[in-house]
Amino acid sequence: MKRVGDWVLLALLSAMVLAGCANNHKNRPAPVEDRSPNASRTPAKMVASSDNAGKPGYYSVKSGDTLIRIGMDNGHSWRDIARWNNIENPNLIETGQVLRVTPPEETGVVVRPVSSTNVVTSPAPANAASAPVPATNAAVLKSPASAASAPSNATPANNVATADAAEDAISFQWPTRGNVLAGFDEVKNKGVDIAGKAGDPVLAAADGKVVYAGSGLRGYGNLVIIKHNNTYLTAYAHNQTLLVKEDQAIKRGQKIAEMGNSDADQVKLHFEIRRQGKPVDPAKYLPAN
């Protein structure tokens, strides 16, 4: 009887141990893969493959580069370049990284110039009208073709060519009044330096949209960059105060900053016109001063 009792006791103990294991297993969550949008994943550093290095529309990052400079040198907003390349932190780009610097190809879609009609325009500051250059004094760069002269039976290719030519027909005005301290030089000076006093108004040279407003580009101080269309950017450097924000639509002659000497040896405005990212001589685009 004693042996039978031992067996019964052993059986009861075994049953209790098995039940405990079953309960522990029941309370343990099953292993699952987190597929939620907030799940931790390693973001893709680049969309462009290293095989694209050296090809048109791509750029290999060099030491000292920033997205702001890459954007200005290629005629685009740094935000667009970050988006095209899935860059989550614009401060983290690597030497040798290959970036797409032109819009991704979209079949049948032609990217058109910035239009202020579909962007809410912030009102110009109250004193913006204090020193605008009259529109009648501005030079208009006209190309042989114009949108108005396109034939009604024009092919899509002709329409694109006409639209591209129309982008060159843009009117620039002087961004401030003052003597030119230094003219354009492809190596030493990528724009013109204009004298003035601290606080003098800095005006937008043409309609467009602000693609950069800040002090993140070495050598330029407080800087505003305006994109006028898919061809032209203008840059306004060394300001004392910036009066606009990124993505703000701007009208020609609107006050966008006040002149200063940020990152400069004297009070002045450094003004650049860039055609498809390449600096060009502003004197060829501005009316006689």
Do 135-284 and 50-100 fall under one CATH topology?
no
CATH no. of 50-100: 3.10.350.10
For the chain, give every domain's residue range: 50-100, 135-284
CB half-sphere exposure, 16, CA atoms < 13 A: 6
Q: Does the domain made of 135-284 have the CATH classification 3.40.50.720?
A: no
Buried b (16+ CB within 10 A) or exposed e, 231-246: bbbbbbbbbbebbbee
pLDDT at 225: 97
Low-confidence ranges of the chain (pLDDT < 70): 1-49, 105-167
> What pLDDT, on a 0 to 100 scale, did the predictor assign at position 150?
40
Give CA–CA dist 120/206, Å, rounded.
17
Which amino acid, one-letter code, is at 19? Answer: A
Could you identify the residue written with the tokens 């000076």?
Answer: 189
Tell me what pLDDT residue 289 has.
72
CA distances from 269 to 134, 147, 176, 213, 235 (A): 20, 35, 8, 15, 10
Inter-residue contact 185 to 283 (CB < 8 Å): no
288: left (phi over 0), alpha (psi -120 to 50) or beta: beta
For residue 4 the two structure tokens come to 């039978």
> Quick one: pLDDT at residue 279?
96
Task: State the pLDDT at residue 195.
Answer: 97
